[in-house]
Amino acid sequence: MLLKNLKTIRYLIVFSCLTVFFSLLAYPVLKGETAITEADKLNKQMELLKAEIEQPDSSPALMNRYERLSFALSKCNFVNQLAGENYFDDLAPTANLCVNGALAVADPNFNRPLASSTGTGIGNGTVGNCSLSGSGNAVNHDVYNFNLSGCAAFPTEVTATLCGPAGCQHVGNMDSVLLLYRNVPAGDPLTANGGLPGVFNPASPCTNARGGQDDLGTTSGTPNNPGGATCNQVVGTNCVAPCTSPSNAGALSGFRRQLGNGRFTIVVTGFGNATVGTYNLYVNAPAAGCVLGLAPSAANAGISGRILTSSGQGIRNATVMLTGGSLESPIIKSSTTFGNYSFENLPVGETYVITVLAKRFFFDNPSQIINLTDNISDTNFISAEK
C-alpha cells in the first residue's frame, strides 16, 4: 500500500512540476511519457538560455527567466527521493568522501570564474587565462579543503562530482558549478606534491584557479589530465558520468584530474546569483593506498551533523540556526531529505550555538554550544514525535 501511495504521489508531483515547466515556457501540457520527454527538451532549452546569459550584452530578462525555471526545477527535486534509503555523512579519512552541503541565501558570495568548454574548464580553457562571469557575479559558494596522501604513486586520479554513487547520490537539482584551486611552492600546481592552504580568495577568484566544470549533461565533463582535453564539455571521452535521473540532473557538476600528494581545494557554487539548494559532494581517489581527509583552512572550519528521530530516521526540513562567534546575524538552514545539515567557513577559536526546530518533533536539548577548533561532523540532534 505504501509503495502504491508513493507512486501516486510521484505522479501528482510530476504533473504539478510539468505544469509549472510548461506555464513558464509557454509549451502545451502533455501527458505520460510524452511529458517526460518534453521536460528533457526544456532542459536543453535551459542550457541554450544559459549560453545567451553568459554573453556580455545579455538582457536581464533572460536571467529572470532562467531563475524562474531553475526555481521550478528545484521544487521538483524530491520526486525520486520519497522512498530513498538513509545515508550517513562520514568524514573519516578514506579513499572517498561524501560531504553533505547546501547553498543558501545567507552564504558568502563572489564573482565566479567563467566555465569553459575546453582545456582546463575555466576562462578560455588555457591555464592563466581565467575570466569572470558577467552574470554569475554574486553567486553563493561553499569551500572545501582536502588532504590527499598514501597513494602508491603520484600524481593520481581524483574525481569530484555532485553526481555520486549509491550512498552519496545527489539530493538536489541545483544548477551547480565546481571549481578546483591548488598551489604548490614549485612545479606544476596540480601534479606536484605539496599544496598550500588558503589558496581560494573570493576577492580574487581567478588566483590559483586550476579547473572548473558547469554541467555534466550526457557527453560533458572536464579534462582528465591537468591541461589536456581527453574529457571536456565537447569531447566525451573518459568523462565523469552524469546523473540520469531526474531529467534535469545534467545541470550538476563533476570533474576528474591528476593530482599530486597534499592539499587541494574545491569550491561548490551556483550558475546564477539566486541559485540555492542542497547537494552531496563526492570526492574519490580510487588508486591503491589513497587516503582522503577533509581539512579546515588555516582559519576556518565547519560544523555538520544530522537531525534524527529517536529511531534514527532523518528529519527533513528542520530549521537549524547558528549564532554566536563573530557572526553579525544568525545563519539559518534547513536539513536535507536525510536530516543532514552543515555550516562551512566558520572562524575557528570562537564559540557558536546551534539551535534546531522541527514541526511535529520536540527536542530535550534543542541547542548545543560548540567551541570550534577544527571540523566537527557529529553535532547531532535526537528528537521524539510530539
3-state class (DSSP) for residue 7:
helix
362 beta partners: 384
Give CA–CA dist 241/151, Å, rounded: 23
| Total-model pTM | 0.60
Beta-sheet strands, E only, within 194-339: 209-213, 254-259, 262-270, 277-284, 291-295, 300-309, 319-324, 331-334
Q: Which CATH architecture has domain 300-385?
A: Sandwich (2.60)
How many C-beta atoms lie closer than 10 Å to residue 355's C-beta?
A: 16
User: pLDDT of 255-311, one tens digit each?
Assistant: 888 999 999 999 999 999 999 999 999 999 999 999 998 876 556 778 999 999 988
Position 208 pLDDT exceeds 80? yes
Cβ(330)–Cβ(321) below 8 Å:
yes
Q: Rounded mean pLDDT of 183-210?
A: 88
Q: Can you give the pLDDT at residue 339? A: 92
Mean pLDDT is lowest, of 2-16, 134-148, 225-239, 275-289, for: 2-16
Q: Can you give the pLDDT at residue 44? A: 67
User: pLDDT of 327-343, one tens digit each?
Assistant: 878 999 999 989 999 99
Domain ranges of the chain: 2-80, 85-295, 300-385
3-state class (DSSP) for residue 51:
helix
* Between 39 and 148, residue with greater pLDDT: 148
CATH fold match for the domains 85-295 and 300-385: no
Pairing, β 331-334 against β 319-324 = antiparallel
* Between 22 and 229, residue with greater pLDDT: 229
Mean pLDDT is lowest, of 32-46, 68-82, 325-339, for: 68-82
Cell of 320: 537549524
Cell of 13: 508531483
Give CA–CA dist 66/71, Å, rounded: 9
Cβ(146)–Cβ(199) below 8 Å:
no
Give CA–CA dist 23/68, Å, rounded: 11
Give CA–CA dist 104/274, Å, rounded: 9
Rank 211-215, 308-312, 348-352 by mean pLDDT and report only the highest.
308-312
Q: Can you give the pLDDT at residue 377? A: 82
Give CA–CA dist 321/328, Å, rounded: 13
User: How high does pLDDT run on average in the chain?
Assistant: 76
For 49, phi then psi, to 5°, come to -65, -40
3-state class (DSSP) for residue 39:
helix
Mean pLDDT is lowest, of 77-91, 169-183, 192-206, for: 77-91
68 beta partners: none
With bands split at pLDDT 50, 70 and 90, how would you rate the model's confidence at 47? confident
Question: In Å, how far from its chain's centre is CA 382?
Answer: 26
Position 244 pLDDT exceeds 80? no
Fold classification of 85-295 is Jelly Rolls (2.60.120)
Residue that has been written with the C-alpha cell 546523473 in this structure: 243
Give me the amino acid identity at 42.
L
With bands split at pLDDT 50, 70 and 90, how would you rate the model's confidence at 198? confident
3-state class (DSSP) for residue 382:
strand
Give Cβ neighbours of residue 286 (< 8 Å, ≥ 6 apart): 95, 96, 157, 159
With bands split at pLDDT 50, 70 and 90, how would you rate the model's confidence at 83? very low
Residue that has been written with the C-alpha cell 580553457 in this structure: 125
Percent of all residues in the chain with a pLDDT value above 90, rounded to a whole number: 32
Question: In Å, how far from its chain's centre is CA 309?
Answer: 26
Q: Can you give the pLDDT at residue 127? A: 56
Position 11 pLDDT exceeds 90? no
3-state class (DSSP) for residue 94:
strand
Mean pLDDT is lowest, of 72-86, 167-181, 324-338, for: 72-86
Position 100 pLDDT exceeds 80? yes
Q: Can you give the pLDDT at residue 350? A: 76
Q: What distance, in Å, lies between the first and last C-alpha atoms of the chain?
A: 25
Mean pLDDT is lowest, of 22-26, 44-48, 280-284, 307-311, for: 22-26
Give Cβ neighbours of residue 85 (< 8 Å, ≥ 6 apart): none
CB neighbour class for 57 (10 Å; exposed up to 12, middle 13-18, buried from 19)? exposed
User: pLDDT of 116-174, one tens digit each?
Assistant: 777 778 876 665 678 899 999 999 999 899 999 999 999 999 999 998 988 898 887 88
CB neighbour class for 68 (10 Å; exposed up to 12, middle 13-18, buried from 19)? middle
Position 78 pLDDT exceeds 70? no
What is the chain's alpha carbon radius of gyration, rounded to the nearest angstrom? 21
Position 88 pLDDT exceeds 50? no
Q: Can you give the pLDDT at residue 17? A: 47
In the Cβ-directed half-sphere of 27, how many Cα atoms lie within 13 Å?
21
